[in-house]
Structure 1
Amino acid sequence: MGKLNLLKFPGRNAFRDPYPAHVMKTRASILLVACLTPVMADEWKAPKPADKVAANHFHVPEGLEVTVWASTPDLYNPTNMDIDAEGRIWVAEGVNYRGHNGRRPDGDRIVVLQDTNGDGKADKSHTFVQEKGLVAPLGVGVFDNVVIVSQPPDLIKYTDVNRDLVFDPAVDKREVLLTGFNARNHDHSLHSVTGGPDGKWYFNNGNCGAEFTDKSGKTFRMGGDYYKDGGGDWFVNTRELAGKKSDDGFMWTAGFSVRMNPDGTNAEIIGHGYRNSFEHCTTSLGELFQNDNDDPPACRTSYVLEYGSAGYFTREGKFYRTVKRPNQDHGRNHWRQDDPGTFDVGDIYGGGSPTGIVFYENGALGPKQAGTLLSCEAARNVIFGYQPEPQGATYKMDRTDWMTSNTTGEFDGADFTGGSKKEENREDGSPMLFRPSDVAVGADGAVYVTDWFDPRVGGHGDMDESCSGTIYRVAPKNFRPRNPKVDLNTIPGCVTALKSPAINVRWTGFEGLKAKGEAALPALLEVTKDKDPWISARGIWLLPYLGTKGEEACKELLSAKDTRQRLVAYKALKRAGKDILPYAEKLASDPSPAVRRDVALSLRGQPADKSAPILVTVAKGWDGKDKNYLESIGLAAENQENEVWTALKSALSPGDAKSWNDAFAKLTWRLWPSAAIADLKARALDSALNDDARKFACESLSFIDDRAAADALFDVAGTDNAAVKAEAMNWLFMRGTGAWAKFGMQDELKKRGIYDPDKIVLTEAIFPGKPEKTNFTVADVTKLKGDATKGKATAQRCVMCHQLEGVGPSYGPDLKGWVSRQGAEMAAKAIVDPSAEIAHGFDGTAINLKDNRWIDGLVRSNGDPVIVTTQGGLTQMVPRDRIAGMRGMGRSLMLNADQLGLSAQDVADVIAWLKTY
């Protein structure tokens, strides 16, 4: 087998300037010979006995039970799975994960597990494919005899021509469907491919970013400031891509979702600005949901507004930290919820490590579970359950612990708990070792969960040398599996597949029925009448492909009483490439905000003279509050904001600038039109308006990417109103040293006294070194009973770095709910020896000034100037030309208990009080 470097590209230009055809042909031949040897058995053996959490330790909804379907040695370190029509589970393995790359010399595998006797347990396991180039792939999707593996930089397509479930290069086919995805052996990279109800394929990539070209020849540039962070092999310089438009004419940021034809043509970006959405899922209504990781404590589960940004990066690809507002909540800052251009955050639940996700619609679990979103949370040893309810243009997301091994509320071995440095708690049933990596619905209607099983999750590492893995089944008690027979050569067989609980099996039914054309129409019309709304929706998606009668049947559903049918019918026509403008005009005043939202989104890219009149109607239906509704209008207007805003102003007749109502002011804020600069300046200077309205006008100006907006804010900064003046100056500094730096505003910033690097006086701040030893241990603290009353008084020493009850700087992590999240022992460890584990996102940086002084602190913005906060909450702006160098400190910015003058009893008291805070 060949060397791993045969799979590497020589540099990012490989994606921009392809090799000559004869060179590519030669490389392809070398790769096939070197890397594609069929593997019937895996010679590597784990060095330790396998282990798992006992099934009887799990809590699931009443009437359901958990059983072990398969376990090591049938599979190892499962990262992702898919389930085919015959109930076989295909697993992507990550034995060579992160720092253990090379642990399995022949590379990682895609393994197939089967229950051949129908007793509810796997009794057969074999390797489909193993390659040296497979290094902890994070996605596998099975579409009949086509298997898609997500292995950066490539999306690899294996076609099992002879259908023997073993890849043989002499018979079967292997091709790189798409390439250009960062980064190999990195969690924030390329994830699984799933089939949508529209016949498209969907996949996502974390904030490592990408530069890829689809089979239609369009290149997408997904950039941001996250570059060569967290290890792995990087193929694309995402910083160079930040702020560049893609060939579709739009600007995207890293962390994104893609929708495309199965042959790799007509790719679309349908969401971006994520941190690391490990997986997403589509429903039969065509709605996209995902979970997303964070810099603690703001993990989220959310509905993805089509084309929208989750907010991790700014429009220019800068980190959210660079635009943090004074005293802004971390979650709102992390996902930029107070900025225009982001979709609704959904459910923020705190620190964690979300992984696989699936939407359960129909199957063995019964109607009570229908419409349940299941989201794996590996750091919290749980699969969250949601039943999203439409709420305006988004969904209400109430969370439950749907499947968990841990009901104590204490967690360990995760980034948000400070990590873990030793392997522990391996005993049978330990709740903290359940690390669900994926969840899927089988063709039999049961739910299946893969468990990574490890003391540590996140932090770019793993600790379980046995590489143990388990697949659990969640089903009704005494459940006997039955996988309906699927024959894709017949219309009834395709309908059976379309009705399957398994998402990629449903996709094969869609493809089969689409290929049969008008002959399938009678059967599909019956499907659209199914009492199950999820199954009914699946039939609607196919109607536009089934001739004139099918298209007319779809159009008739635009007047259906059921909102879901109108929603799907409209999306189906759009997705099938039909002219939707006549129907957009009709549905722009639909009673449902969700339908009106989708009408707006469908107009994205349409000429303004056609879209603007319809968007006027949509805008009239806005309640002035719904964030996603407003965002859908903004997304529809992208690249034509001036034209759309002018049309809205003319049609909505808001009057002169001082007479605008709040709704029109917010529409202007979201559209960031340069055509509104004069009006916004007038509002900001109008003393007849209240201060809030004037400050909001300043904020609105700050989001307009035009030098004239900066000039207007400079004029507003000369006002006599102290509050408005301060607002204008704050935005001028933030934008002038950030997004507006390209306008060369330095001289004007100096002149106005907003930012003069020559006049900045820097204060040296050297953080004390870590003592060689501590006067007491964590054990000394945990054996003591704390006094909460005394602890509240003692905790005032923490106010120099932490905000407590509204007092103090936001220098250290938020302590509200801190102890309840990570437990008393971890809290004691953090206070006694804070450098043992550094909270993610609070790594210290030592800045060496050219005058040989030092500033140790937390870097808030790494631009020019560098903004750094030091102990006590002192924030300084450090001009770049005064910096000799910067390096990570490798230790905590928090003083330990001894340095704070705390005794073991003091620490116990503080923890007792923090339990109540």
Structure 2
Amino acid sequence: MKSFPTLLFSITLCCISSFSTSLRAEKEPDRLAKNAIEGLEIADGLEASLFVSEPEMLSPTNIDIDAYGRVWVCEVVNYRRRNGERPEGDRILIFEDEDGDGKADSKKVFYQGRDIDTAMGICVLGNRVIVSVAPYVFILIDDDGDDKADRKQVLFSQTGQPQHDHSNHAFLFGPDGKLYWNFGNTGQAVHDAEGNPVISKEGHAVVDNRQPYIGGMVFRCDLDGSNFEVVGHNFRNNYEVTVDSFGTLWQSDNDDDGNQGVRINYVMQHGNFGYRDEITGAGWRDPRVGMAEEVPLRHWHLNDPGVVPNLLQTGGGSPTGICFYEGKLLPEVFQNEIIHTDAGPNIVRAYPVENDGAGYSAEIVNIMEGTRDKWFRPSDVCVAPDGSLIVADWYDPGVGGHHMGDIAKGRLFRIAPPESPYHSSEFDVSTPEGATEALKSPNAARRYLAWTALHEMQRDAETTLVALSQDENPRFQARAYWLLAKIDGRAQQTIDEMSQEENSDLRVQSLRVALQTDVDVVALIGQLINDPSPQVRRECALSLRDIPQNVKAPLWAKLALQHDGEDRWYLEALGIGAADSWDACLSAWLEEVGDKWNSPSNRDIVWRSRAQQTAGMLAKLLRDADVPNETVPRYLRAFDFLPQEDKSEVLLDLALSSNPEDRSARTNLIVQEALSRLPSYDLVREQNKEVEFSEALNRLRGSAAYVELVSRYGLKDRYPELIEIATADPQSSLSVKAILTLLEAKQNEVIREALYSMEPEQAEKLIQVIGNSQHGGSVAVFNKYIEDDEVDLSLRRLATGQLGKSKYGAEQLLKRINEKKLSKKLMVSAEAALLRSADQNIRNAAIKLFPQAPSRNNKPLPPIQELVKREGNVAKGRLVFNDVGTCIKCHQVHGFGKEVGPALTEIGSKLSREAMYEAILFPSAGISHNYESYTIIDDDGNIYSGVLTSITDEEITFKNVDGISRTIKQENIDELIKQDISLMPADMQKIMTEEELVDLVEYMSTLKKEQ
């Protein structure tokens, strides 16, 4: 759960499927709870104990630990089961260890109902329990203290898709007295209890619509949901957020499965985190100049200006729960660090963080790993009052694909040093001294009670809080300062004290506190603007964001002057601070730097800027021979983030004013990218630049840009050249685009003439690319060709098969067959084409005409339970995998194969054998988000199918089962239908024998992450 649909996916497209329900009865000894600890590897200095397991608890998605050490659990068995595996609904459970032995002694059902089916988050705040269950956020209230919910309130509504774990996630009480939470990229929007759109403090509706928010988001609000802020956005499936005592936010985010791009983020205030293109909403696969070579980096648009860097890339996985550990019980390496569960690689990790410029760097230290038991799926981790950890284990053969393989198991583990009894110390928040002591707790629920009590006391708590603000522990100081600043009339004094602290984290916090109170933020920024810590200066830049530009600009310029040209964290903070004031900010900076703006340390300021004069400055950089060639693509990419009215004239000049004798790769790239960004050909005509445009276009012959420009501007004199491009590689997207340009322009005669005049080898390529276009115009091209006895029979058969790839072509084939007008010599080709048609009606008609055998060799496969016990041959399995009819057709391993579905390079580390068989034989049982199959019907009635790789307001791009990308304008789409089946054939057994299937799974089991 959590980001479970983000780990693996159904082996062609969404390789995480799971077990059939028959496996629930599986009783192998290594799956029994009594053997659970044996399947785990625990870090030195720690030991694990089984706190509770099945049958007392099943499938925990999320947990919290209350102020008394009791563990609250979202127990989910109705995930993706609309009829309900448990008709009474999912449950909120409470477990308590009464004797301190690290094992639960009692269980209570706090709440049960279908309204909390698939709850993904729980936060215990005294007698109020916040439960996140899309599309709602509920508050369950225990009025009489009997550990039963007496009332239910709606905090937020219409937030996320029901039964979808990319939606709303768990809440957390922050050190500032606010709530923090998030949702993933199916969260869609946030509405209040009455269904009204929530408006952020910045004045925007909180909606994933690029106005301005996009994708997954992180939120902060008051306890009643007011003062709503979007702290960061453009994540994929950011599962949980955590916050430390200084108010720094951390979270994980999951990639589009199989791309080794799982990441950990420091959530920079108001940051864009790059899952989708900020301007167009395009996906990360869309080609763009300057994109990173490495897929994990490309995945997050990290080469784009305006994207906050990642703290850490952790490879493949399904990241889930997260917390920040500020206790003392665990070994020092884990103290004051992020602790995180990742269900995909069966692991619980810590990420020790160090300051790195204006940002951070981190390493990975494992805490708990399912080295022997790959069903260990840690879904959450929380800190108990005694400083020990409780880890929830979803326990399942697979994770992801919106599917559960096992609903009969689930576990909680306690992690602590040996001989550390589980205990919850006494506490009393009724006095300032008692509440201040409770505020030191590593447990968030206890700190909530302490914070609330101290805040209500106001001046009565001041003395004890002042004492705590001078503690040797800076995190205790930070907690005290948050409360002191919220004592009426004491904010300015508190901030003055904080800004003088030696610890830079406290000085950073002073700015955060200032933004939540009524003090003069501008004065504080002026005081800290030359702070020796880049972290503090970063926070100064972020704090400028909502300040009037006449005040902001000179302060921003002083901060920008301190950019070293290498610190991307600092650069992005400057970009966030300059929002909506770029003209004034950049001008103020230019007044300070003068001609030195074009220096290695200052060029990134220009690259990141979005002022009116930015385009002209970028052009100067591109023409400057001292600017390294390797930086040219990033400066070209920067144009995409500027308004069209600011860049059109500059782009035209860049495209047309280059020296014709200069044919260098650099100049050609500049011309190509500049031409492709022109708003229309009218600009060329207005300035009488047709000749110069033609000369510039000649530079691009044979390229995708050339085809795009010929198509966009309808340059008919260039059409014959597209035939040559179309036949270069019929399987390439470029060749398909070239032939589509001709077909859509109804240049059928040009195509036919070329077809008849070609040698057979070239004719084959032209026929193939016409078929790969799936365009109905193929009928006009092939109509007479396939019946022309003077044409070689092999070419006619090929054309017949390619004709059937479009809906109209397939309909014409059926018509010919039914009217007995199709040559018998072409019948086999027609059969193959019609049986693989994307149109179900055509396939049904074909089946009647051409009955098929039930399975290969008519030999049924044994049950999965039997297949799992079989040992296969790795070498033979590799051959099966690489056969053109099976896996390699849609998947890559170590860079080989087609990139239709996710890469399977590490599939053996992620899926058990059982889950692999499920995924191969029942690919539609669990299809992961972002890998669903779609059927597209255009306004000509053509039918296409594939996986969407990008969708914008203007067009969609999809990749078909042959790995060919196609882009169709939104205005030309009649229907876009999401399918509930995978693109992967549901009858794989028909192309494999039992032995070949076993060999295939044996080989795939060897595809593991390198250690």
Contact kept in structure 2, 1:65 and 1:474, CA below 8 Å: yes
Residues 435, 499 of structure 1: alpha-carbon distance in 2 compared, 3 angstrom cutoff: same
Deviation digits for residues 744-796 of structure 1 (CA, Å, limit 9, x no counterpart): xxx9999953634796523322598789756999999963364999999999x
Contact kept in structure 2, 1:312 and 1:319, CA below 8 Å: no
Residues 649, 204 of structure 1: alpha-carbon distance in 2 compared, 3 angstrom cutoff: same
* 2:310 aligned residue (342, 345, 348): 345
Aligned position for 2:581: 640
Aligned position for 1:741: none
* 1:178 aligned residue (149, 152, 156): 156
Aligned position for 1:31: none
Match of 1:304, as an amino acid? V
Kindly indicate whether residue 393 of structure 2 is the aligned counterpart of residue 404 of structure 1.
no
Kindly indicate whether residue 170 of structure 2 is the aligned counterpart of residue 192 of structure 1.
yes
Residues 151, 873 of structure 1: alpha-carbon distance in 2 compared, 3 angstrom cutoff: closer
Map 1:430-509 onto structure 2 (within 5 A): 431-466=373-408, 468-509=409-450
Deviation digits for residues 853-885 of structure 1 (CA, Å, limit 9, x no counterpart): 666655433455544455776544445566666
Match of 1:474, as an amino acid? I
* CA distance in 1: counterparts of 2:617 and 2:379, whole angstroms: 52
Residues 785, 530 of structure 1: alpha-carbon distance in 2 compared, 3 angstrom cutoff: same
- Once the two structures are overlaid, the 10-residue window that deviates more, 768-777 or 623-632, is 768-777
3-state SS, counterpart of residue 320 of structure 1: coil
Give the deviation of 1:194 after TM superposition.
0.8
* 1:367 aligned residue (314, 332, 338): 332
Name the one with the larger helix percent. Answer: 2
3-state SS, counterpart of residue 97 of structure 1: coil
Contact kept in structure 2, 1:601 and 1:636, CA below 8 Å: yes
Aligned position for 1:703: 641
Map 1:225-244 onto structure 2 (within 5 A): 242-244=209-211
* 1:541 aligned residue (477, 482, 493): 482
Aligned position for 1:386: 351
Kindly indicate whether residue 465 of structure 2 is the aligned counterpart of residue 376 of structure 1.
no
* CA distance in 1: counterparts of 2:453 and 2:164, whole angstroms: 36
Deviation digits for residues 468-489 of structure 1 (CA, Å, limit 9, x no counterpart): 3222111121222232222221
* CA distance in 2: counterparts of 1:108 and 1:906, whole angstroms: 40
Aligned position for 2:53: 71
* 1:147 aligned residue (110, 129, 132): 129
* 1:614 aligned residue (541, 548, 555): 555
* CA distance in 2: counterparts of 1:603 and 1:788, whole angstroms: 59
Residues 331, 774 of structure 1: alpha-carbon distance in 2 compared, 3 angstrom cutoff: farther
3-state SS, counterpart of residue 739 of structure 2: coil
Higher relative contact order (CA 8 A, sep 6+): 2
Aligned position for 2:472: 531
Percent identity, aligned pairs only, is 28
Residues 215, 497 of structure 1: alpha-carbon distance in 2 compared, 3 angstrom cutoff: farther
Contact kept in structure 1, 2:498 and 2:506, CA below 8 Å: yes
Aligned position for 1:755: 712
* CA distance in 2: counterparts of 1:139 and 1:289, whole angstroms: 17
Give the deviation of 1:734 after TM superposition.
7.6
Give the deviation of 1:124 after TM superposition.
1.6
Match of 1:243, as an amino acid? R
Map 1:887-898 onto structure 2 (within 5 A): 890-892=982-984
Match of 2:712, as an amino acid? Y
Contact kept in structure 1, 2:374 and 2:912, CA below 8 Å: no
Kindly indicate whether residue 270 of structure 2 is the aligned counterpart of residue 307 of structure 1.
yes
Contact kept in structure 2, 1:828 and 1:907, CA below 8 Å: no
Match of 1:784, as an amino acid? N
Give the deviation of 1:534 after TM superposition.
2.5
Residues 733, 874 of structure 1: alpha-carbon distance in 2 compared, 3 angstrom cutoff: farther
Kindly indicate whether residue 283 of structure 2 is the aligned counterpart of residue 320 of structure 1.
yes
Residues 217, 830 of structure 1: alpha-carbon distance in 2 compared, 3 angstrom cutoff: closer
Give the deviation of 1:706 after TM superposition.
3.1
Residues 794, 462 of structure 1: alpha-carbon distance in 2 compared, 3 angstrom cutoff: closer
Match of 1:461, as an amino acid? H
3-state SS, counterpart of residue 379 of structure 2: strand
Aligned position for 2:872: 783
- Once the two structures are overlaid, the 10-residue window that deviates more, 358-367 or 318-327, is 318-327
Contact kept in structure 2, 1:672 and 1:701, CA below 8 Å: no
Match of 2:225, as an amino acid? G
TM-score (structure 1 length as normaliser): 0.78
3-state SS, counterpart of residue 162 of structure 1: coil
Aligned position for 2:84: 102
Aligned position for 1:10: none
Residues 873, 755 of structure 1: alpha-carbon distance in 2 compared, 3 angstrom cutoff: farther
Give the deviation of 1:500 after TM superposition.
0.7
* CA distance in 1: counterparts of 2:422 and 2:1002, whole angstroms: 54
Give the deviation of 1:724 after TM superposition.
4.0
Deviation digits for residues 491-538 of structure 1 (CA, Å, limit 9, x no counterpart): 122112201111232122122222222232221232223333332322
Aligned position for 1:600: 541
TM-score (structure 2 length as normaliser): 0.71
- Once the two structures are overlaid, the 10-residue window that deviates more, 661-670 or 489-498, is 661-670
Give the deviation of 1:622 after TM superposition.
1.8
Map 1:107-146 onto structure 2 (within 5 A): 107-146=89-128
Give the deviation of 1:616 after TM superposition.
1.7
* CA distance in 1: counterparts of 2:1002 and 2:187, whole angstroms: 46
Give the deviation of 1:360 after TM superposition.
0.9
Contact kept in structure 1, 2:341 and 2:379, CA below 8 Å: yes
- Once the two structures are overlaid, the 10-residue window that deviates more, 139-148 or 272-281, is 139-148
Contact kept in structure 2, 1:702 and 1:731, CA below 8 Å: no
Residues 106, 874 of structure 1: alpha-carbon distance in 2 compared, 3 angstrom cutoff: closer
Give the deviation of 1:437 after TM superposition.
1.6
Deviation digits for residues 404-448 of structure 1 (CA, Å, limit 9, x no counterpart): 1226xxxxxxxxxxxxxxxxxxxxxxx122121211001121100
Aligned position for 1:522: 463
Give the deviation of 1:279 after TM superposition.
0.7
Deviation digits for residues 202-259 of structure 1 (CA, Å, limit 9, x no counterpart): 111111234335699995479xxxxxxxxxxxxxx99x85133xxxxxx212311111
Aligned position for 2:598: 660
Report the structure number with the largest CA radius of gyration. 2
* CA distance in 2: counterparts of 1:774 and 1:68, whole angstroms: 47
* 2:254 aligned residue (290, 293, 300): 293
- Once the two structures are overlaid, the 10-residue window that deviates more, 119-128 or 777-786, is 777-786
Kindly indicate whether residue 214 of structure 2 is the aligned counterpart of residue 256 of structure 1.
no
* CA distance in 1: counterparts of 2:52 and 2:916, whole angstroms: 37
Would you say how many aligned residue pairs link Structure 1 and Structure 2?
Answer: 811
Aligned position for 1:764: 771
Give the deviation of 1:303 after TM superposition.
1.5
* CA distance in 1: counterparts of 2:453 and 2:999, whole angstroms: 69
* CA distance in 1: counterparts of 2:474 and 2:306, whole angstroms: 33
* CA distance in 1: counterparts of 2:249 and 2:871, whole angstroms: 45
Give the deviation of 1:672 after TM superposition.
2.0
* CA distance in 2: counterparts of 1:660 and 1:900, whole angstroms: 62
Give the deviation of 1:137 after TM superposition.
1.5
